[in-house]
Amino acid sequence: MLPCTLYEALATLPDPRDRHGCIHPLPAIMGLVALALLMGRKSLKSIARFGRQHQAPLAHALGFRRGKTPSASTLSRTLRRVDAQQLENALSRWIRARIDLDSIEQISLDGKTLRGSRDGDVPGQHLVAAYAPAVEAVLAQIRVDSKTNEHKAALERLGILPLKGKVVVGDAMFCQRDLAEQVVGAGGEYLLVVKDNQPGLEIDIRAGFAFEETARGIAAAIPP
């Protein structure tokens, strides 16, 4: 996979808007949002203000044909229509094209609720990510809806990642037979936490270690 710029990755997003009446190109809008976020602007108003502050030179550099960046309301209407998963996939392709996946030995699975995403009775957005600590990068991420649990989402994300020679690490939520089978089947290994939610498995593991310790003690007691 050839490396590409962040702007080029964002430019691959399908435009969900009606072509008629569109003033601002979608790649230019996404480029403005990405640049402003990297500069610490975290709200739509501050992103729009960032565009106005840098005026026509920035607008033309990003591809705004009229030399003017969009307002906060235009940003809001556009971003609400962008498919979140398509955006995640584009960002994942950009990241994976810029790192050496063969050098990564560990992939950590984790689920988090986005801070500030809860709105009244509407629950916060929950995400499951496959993170590579060695390069401090999220390789793939997916939103978990109310009908899907974390380990099912992890199965989907792991399905697009090369796992051969890698160790997949996760907490008790991901300690599931089908996930372990997928990792092993792809040539990887796993290190998953077992807690009280799977008492039978915990008992088996403890018994296995106890047997191994006993066997070593017996072997050491036998004269050569």
State residue 218's pLDDT score.
78
30 near 14, Cβ under 8 Å? no
Six-digit token string for 133: 């600590």
Q: What is the pLDDT of residues 12-33, one digit of tens each?
A: 999 988 877 788 999 999 999 9
Spatial distance between the Cα atoms of 163 and 173, rounded to a whole number of angstroms: 20
* pTM, full prediction: 0.67
State residue 217's pLDDT score.
75
Mean pLDDT, contiguous 10-residue spans, the chain (224 residues): 80 87 89 94 94 94 92 93 88 84 89 69 75 87 75 84 91 88 93 83 81 75 74
State residue 47's pLDDT score.
96
State residue 168's pLDDT score.
94
State residue 35's pLDDT score.
94
- Following CA atoms 104, 108, 111, 114 in sequence, which dihedral angle do they give, to the nearest 10 degrees? -40
135 near 99, Cβ under 8 Å? yes
Q: For residue 166, how many other CB atoms are within 10 A of its CB? A: 21
State residue 58's pLDDT score.
94
Spatial distance between the Cα atoms of 3 and 93, rounded to a whole number of angstroms: 9
State residue 206's pLDDT score.
82
The CA radius of gyration of the chain, in Å to the nearest whole number, is 24
State residue 117's pLDDT score.
58
State residue 66's pLDDT score.
86
Q: What is the pLDDT of residues 138-171, one digit of tens each?
A: 888 888 876 567 888 888 888 888 899 999 999 8
At residue 44's C-alpha, the angle toward residues 42 and 48, to 5°, is: 110
Spatial distance between the Cα atoms of 44 and 75, rounded to a whole number of angstroms: 7
Q: For residue 44, how many other CB atoms are within 10 A of its CB? A: 18
At residue 126's C-alpha, the angle toward residues 125 and 130, to 5°, is: 135
State residue 121's pLDDT score.
64
